[in-house]
Amino acid sequence: MRARRECLACREKKVMIPLNHYLLLSAFLFSCGVLGVVVRRNAIIVFMSIELMLNAVNLSLVAFGQFLGDATGQMLVFFVMVVAAAEAAVGLAIIISLFRNKQTVNIDELNILKW
């Protein structure tokens, strides 16, 4: 309780981290995610990189919402988290069924469909 009050206090004093810092961090995390998708071979790691991208966006959304004084951004974050959870469930299920058939989760070994 007390900590939260202090935080509110610091907002009133406007000693906040500027928006651009959040955005740059978010962009950096997003790029890490993209890079992970492009370079990693393991399907699960690729999937985790995608999650990283989504969470990077969440960071932006929260920051925007905070600075605009608007709840929409934060609300959208909840939706994104729900969607990410659903995607995780489905994605892991797909990876499991693949593993059952092929005993691998390396995506560069998946190329019966091509050209």
Partner 1 sequence: MEFFSPTDLLGSSPILALGLFSLIALLVNAFLKNSAGMVFYVSAVGIFVAIGCSIYTFPMNATAFSDMLLVGGYASFFSVLFLVIALFSMFIAKPYLEREQYHYGEYYVLILLATIGMVMLASSADLITAFLGIEMMSVSFYVLAGYFRGKLSSNESALKYFLLGAFATGFLLYGIALIYGTTGTTNLLRIVTMYPQPFNDPLHIIGWGLILIGFGFKVAAVPFHMWVPDVYEGAPTPVTAFMSTGGKAAAFSVFLMTFSVPMSMRDERLMTVLAVLAAASMLLGNWFGLSQTNLKRMLAYSSIAHAGYMIIGIASATPMGQQGIAFYLVSYALTNLGAFGIIAMMEKENGGNLNYEDYAGLGKRKPALAALLAMFMFSLTGIPPFAGFIGKYYLFASAVQSHMTWLAIFGVITSLFSTYYYLRIIVYMYFKEATNHEEIKLPGLTFATVILCGAGIVLFGIVPSLIFDLMKSIF
Partner 2 sequence: MYSFAPLIVLFPLLGFLINGFFGRKIKNETLVGSIGTLAVASSFVVALLIFVEMVGSPVEERKHIVTLFQWIAAGSFSVNVAFQVDQLSILMTLIVTGVGSLIHLYSIGYMHGDAGFWRFFTYLNLFIFAMLNLVLADNYLLMFLGWEGVGLCSYLLIGFWYDRNFEKGTTGDAAKKAFIVNRIGDFGFLLAMFLIFNTFGSLTYESVFAQAAGFSPGVSVMFWITLLMFVGATGKSAQIPLYVWLPDAMAGPTPVSALIHAATMVTAGIYMAARSSILFSLAPATMEIVAVVGLLTAFFAGTIGLVQNDIKKVLAYSTVSQLGYMFLAVGVGAFTAGLFHVMTHAFFKALLFLGSGAVIHAMHDEQDIQKMGGLQKYMPWTFRTFVIGSFAISGFPLLSGFFSKDEILWKSFADGAPWMWVIAALAAGVTAFYMFRLVSLTFLGKERFDHHHVHPHEAPKTMLIPLLILALFSIIGGYVGIPHVLGGHNYFEEFLEPVFAGANAKMMLPMHDSAALELGLMAVSVAVGLLGMFAGWKIFTEKPEIAENTAKKFSGLHKLLWNKYFVDEAYDAVIVNPIKQTSDKFLWKIFDVKIIDNTLNFSAKFVEATSNILRRIQTGVVQSYAVIFVAGILFILGYLIVW
Residue 49 near residue 40 (C-beta atoms within 8 A): yes
Taking residues 35 to 74 in sequence order and writing x for each that binds partner 1 by CB under 8 A, - otherwise, the string is --x-----x--xx--x--xx-xx--xx--x---x-x-xx-
Return the residue of 20, 38, 69, 100 that touches partner 2, per CB under 8 A: 38
Q: At residue 92, what is the residue type? A: L
Please spell the DSSP secondary structure of 33-77, one letter per residue: HHHHHHH--BHHHHHHHHHHHHHHHHHHHHHHHHHHT-SHHHHHH
Measured from the CB atom, is 38 or 71 closer to partner 2? 38
Q: What is the CA radius of gyration of the chain?
A: 19
Measured from the CB atom, is 37 or 44 closer to partner 2? 37
95 binds, among partner 1, partner 2, none (CB under 5 to 8 A by kind): partner 1
To which H or E segment does residue 85 belong? helix 72-102
Write down how long the chain is.
115
Footprint of partner 1 (CB under 8 A): 23, 30, 33-34, 37, 43, 46-47, 50, 53-54, 56-57, 60-61, 64, 68, 70, 72-73, 75-76, 79-80, 83, 86-87, 90-91, 93-95, 97-98, 101-102, 107, 110, 112-114
